[in-house]
Structure 1
């Protein structure tokens, strides 16, 4: 005869049912945060709700910290026999109806007309991506709850607790949630400035890698000419009449001896793109790192005084980051044009890339306070040097 009571059976069935329902809710949360979904607009302020909206980063920080704490408690409940349905039901309810709903709401709101944007497009997209990932990791913990509850529901006798394999699964899943929480908390801590600097540095790295690959591709021409001379001296060696395998499959996208104009364009492109790489460094130091932590606070000028930033401060940063992201993508297109030996396409794409870089310079020629500074003078010389190269 089973030693389990009817009350325990009912509680365990309730836990299984709640877990499955919560899994459906998590799927809905993740869908609402997908890139294809339009962020929901916050409710319009009314006369009775004059209190300012809470900062989204603050809400995300608080809810993420709570989620990490709840997950720790939940994992302890799973690891400590006997499995207690009532405690698990309460904890899952606290997470799904409170923590996660508030977290998703903070990550998915957009800016109402007339409302000052404190986050910007890049941060908003980052929050949605990271919260979506965090929900996915918490779903793995929930799946373990369901697995253990279903096993216990069908078992008889004393609850001996999870097996060693199940213990390791719980610890591993909890660790993944912690890591996702820490990553999201780091985003909140670094703020908009930290995020845009990080992204710009990553995109500059992609840009410079592409430039180096283009340079090495062009340098292969001289090496191949030397190899051709060596092969000519030993041409009586038997190659089966097919030549070298690299010659067969690589000739279609390699510069030949007669492609002097394309080689000259390649050299010019490498020079210009290296200057674009220098621009990224200047933008990071003089514009991104100096962006006010909040668009609603004064921005410091070169003489140490402060003035109110222009009302379109965040949109300007958004447009700048669109260009900073687009340039490496354009360089990828440029590389493809060279690999296809398409000189006209390469010229057009190089012009587009330089145009994007100049647009970025023009967008933030002045400081965030609207005054001339060191970058203003440097950027004018940079444009001249880019055109001359």
Structure 2
């Protein structure tokens, strides 16, 4: 923003607004919900929250337009614009606080993250306006304004209850595990490719690129049960998603809490799979493999037990839970035997 006296005056309310939004962002990110014993209407909450997000989007547009063309707003007008924008931000954060933990921690976490995203995009827009020349609409300002719009529109696509929130979180985890499995399989395939030596110009950051290191025959035998364990993890997550879609219920507090418990325990699977996968690239770290294969197996057994004791487990689920439980035991024992072989 230019340094003339009027610009300096105009920048004061914008900087004050930026500081206020930052404080609101910090409170939302770290604060707790206002738990209430009264009845809570989730449908009304979403209607109000979407309206609040729409208001923030509109206020951000007003601010962006006001400082992109002549005449420059007076300090009084800038204060009015800033006050109106702050009011919309405070309303959005207040509505977020209405959502009680009893509606589900998974749901509340995703609404919180979306709210924080909006506030951070508003901050980014204000920083852009303050650093740009007055009476011009820079590409950066256009991008920042669009960032606020996109963050506000995101509320329309959020999970509407804790069942949907649990499924959304699970879907993201499934994708991470699937990628880890496919990257390892691709590396194995490329290591067996007789033309692989002709590919010196390919991406040096390929997950299978470990210099001159190569898998030994013993390494490859060990990879089998380790991959089997990773695939059991992926299958467990896919089957759980199907069980939640079929049987998941948010009508009772204990069921909402069980969905949160399932989301929390499943969130540990993808780091466990990643840790194991990293140990399997040459040169294979056998002690690391033994450690991480044991940890992942123990985690999967824990996940299966949590599923078994939850409301999403029906008669049909017991079959695959038992199958995967056996697969985990089989692959763990086979991996341990191979690790101890010739050691």
Instruction: Verify: 1:274 aligned to 2:231, yes or no.
Output: yes
1:299-354, Cα deviation, whole Å (9 max, x unpaired): xxxxxxxxxx3x43233222212222211211111123223523243133223212
- Find 1:345's aligned residue among 274, 288, 291: 288
Instruction: Verify: 1:265 aligned to 2:222, yes or no.
Output: yes
Alpha-carbon spacing, 1:221–1:30, altered in 2? closer, same or farther (3 Å): same
User: Does the CA contact (< 8 Å) of 1:193 and 1:289 recur in 2?
Assistant: no
Alpha-carbon spacing, 1:132–1:367, altered in 2? closer, same or farther (3 Å): closer
Q: Distance in 1 between matches of 2:126 and 2:223?
A: 55
User: Does the CA contact (< 8 Å) of 2:166 and 2:263 recur in 1?
Assistant: yes
Q: Distance in 2 between matches of 1:227 and 1:207?
A: 26
Unaligned runs of 5+ in 1: 1-8, 152-161, 229-248, 298-308
Alpha-carbon spacing, 1:23–1:227, altered in 2? closer, same or farther (3 Å): closer
Which residue pairs with 2:32 in the alignment?
A: 40
Bigger Rg over Cα: 1
Alpha-carbon spacing, 1:76–1:215, altered in 2? closer, same or farther (3 Å): closer
Which residue pairs with 2:122 in the alignment?
A: 138
Q: Which has the higher helix share?
A: 2
Instruction: Verify: 1:315 aligned to 2:276, yes or no.
Output: no
Deviation at 1:143, TM superposition (A): 3.7
1:134-159, Cα deviation, whole Å (9 max, x unpaired): 212212333455467x95xxxxxxxx
Which aligned pairs between 1:51-90 and structure 2 lie closer than 5 A?
A: 51-52=38-39, 55=42, 57-79=46-68, 81-85=70-74, 86-90=76-80
TM-score relative to the length of structure 2: 0.75
Which residue pairs with 2:179 in the alignment?
A: 209
Instruction: Verify: 1:383 aligned to 2:343, yes or no.
Output: no
Q: Distance in 2 between matches of 1:110 and 1:175?
A: 27
How many residues are treated as equivalent by the alignment? 311
- Find 1:27's aligned residue among 22, 28, 31: 22
User: Does the CA contact (< 8 Å) of 2:93 and 2:115 recur in 1?
Assistant: yes
Instruction: Verify: 1:125 aligned to 2:109, yes or no.
Output: yes
Secondary structure of the corresponding residue to residue 103 of structure 2: coil
Unaligned runs of 5+ in 2: 198-209, 332-343
Alpha-carbon spacing, 1:290–1:93, altered in 2? closer, same or farther (3 Å): farther
Which residue pairs with 2:276 in the alignment?
A: 334
User: Does the CA contact (< 8 Å) of 1:367 and 1:373 recur in 2?
Assistant: no
Which residue pairs with 1:154 in the alignment?
A: none
Alpha-carbon spacing, 1:51–1:91, altered in 2? closer, same or farther (3 Å): farther
RMSD: 3.5
User: Does the CA contact (< 8 Å) of 2:269 and 2:300 recur in 1?
Assistant: yes
Which residue pairs with 1:256 in the alignment?
A: 216
Q: Distance in 1 between matches of 2:9 and 2:186?
A: 64
1:101-143, Cα deviation, whole Å (9 max, x unpaired): 23234446785xxxx61031x3333333332222122123334
- Find 2:302's aligned residue among 359, 378, 383: 359
1:274-304, Cα deviation, whole Å (9 max, x unpaired): 2322222211121156433xx3x2xxxxxxx
